[in-house]
Amino acid sequence: MLPRTILRSYSARVPPKSLLAKQSNRLNKKIQPKDSSKLIVTSLRDIISLFQANSQSQEDDEIESINNKNYINQLIESGELERLAATKLSLDKSTNKIPIEALVNKFPSFTNEEMEIIKEATHIYNSKAWCEYPTYLKQLSYYLSFGSYGPRNDIPFVLNKKPIDFTFKNRSTTKSAIAKRLNKDQLTNRFYVTEQRKHHFSPTTLDPMSKFVFFSAIGVSAVVGWYEWQLEKQDSK
């Protein structure tokens, strides 16, 4: 019985440099992530998950997010947004409008799921013409951006008036196509529109946690500097 032989063919032709360059680029794209920050976050989450028995992976989070979005879309398609406006915001079906008092008083009490329904509905209608928006959704969309709730709780919401933290003080009067940078006196300082925001964003004050981090960094730097100075002192001897 003849021994089994393995034949290998070798080509003496050298591949062109352009082909080698393309192959190198493909390999680098597979190895190197598009966003280094995402790689760092993913790596940290994987390390933490090793010490957690019931932790979810990134794929599990993405699947859960997709399922939740599909669930919210199903609620919107079934008319949940209109029912929410009718039951919780006293929607007037004859005018298709929400009373302003009900909008201001009830909006902060929305649950996370109800807020997701409003945000997703606004996102869906963003691809449509403004005239296709239901009137009550226009009201919800506007209050979602400029309403007195959450971080904007100290900013008053006044009907038929421009929000006091609106970026531009006056409407544009130029008819030319040339864009000009506005002066500071034509812009609103959004961090100082109310007394509460002035105190919160004051550059001279630090919250307790920031002070702790700041002075801890100074202390660690001093200890490290002293330790390195001792090492240099020993080496000089």
pLDDT tens readout for residues 166-222: 777 776 666 666 667 777 777 777 777 787 777 767 666 667 787 888 888 888 888
Q: Quick one: 73 and 110 in the same domain?
A: yes
Burial of 8 (0-12, 13-18, 19+ CB in 10 A): exposed
Boundary-marking domain end, from 128, 158, 188? 158
Residue whose token pair is 């699947």: 63
Query: How many domains are contained in the chain?
Result: 2
Q: Quick one: 153 and 194 in the same domain?
A: no
Residue 51, domain member (yes or no): no
Q: What is the pLDDT of residues 9-18, one digit of tens each?
A: 444 455 566 6
Residue 99: which region, alpha, beta or left (left: phi > 0; alpha: psi -120 to 50)? beta
Residue 198, domain member (yes or no): yes
Q: Quick one: 91 and 136 in the same domain?
A: yes
Share of the chain above pLDDT 70, in %: 68
pTM for this predicted structure: 0.54
Which pLDDT does position 15 carry in this prediction? 58
Q: Return the amino acid letter for 9.
A: S
Residue 236, domain member (yes or no): no
Q: Quick one: 131 and 206 in the same domain?
A: no
User: Residue 33's pLDDT band (boundaries 50, 70, 90)?
Assistant: very low
Task: Quickly list H helices, 126-193.
Answer: 135-146
Q: Quick one: 151 and 182 in the same domain?
A: no
Residue whose token pair is 């090492």: 231
Which pLDDT does position 199 carry in this prediction? 73
Q: Quick one: 142 and 205 in the same domain?
A: no
Q: What is d(CA 228, CA 19) in angstroms, rounded to the nearest whole number?
A: 52
User: Residue 133's pLDDT band (boundaries 50, 70, 90)?
Assistant: confident
Q: Quick one: 113 and 198 in the same domain?
A: no
Q: Quick one: 200 and 137 in the same domain?
A: no
Domain limits for position 184: 164-170+178-227
Note whether 114 and 84 are within 8 A (CB).
yes
Residue 68, domain member (yes or no): yes
Residue 114, domain member (yes or no): yes
Which pLDDT does position 205 carry in this prediction? 62
Residue, of 235 and 90, whose pLDDT is higher: 90
Please state which of the ranges 35-44, 105-114, 131-140 shows the lowest mean pLDDT.
35-44
Q: Which residues contact 104 (CB under 8 A, 6 or more apart)?
A: 143, 147, 148, 157
Angle, helices 80-88 vs 58-77, to 10°: value is: 70
Q: What is d(CA 207, CA 203) in angstroms, rounded to the nearest whole number?
A: 11
Residue 95, domain member (yes or no): yes
Q: Quick one: 123 and 210 in the same domain?
A: no
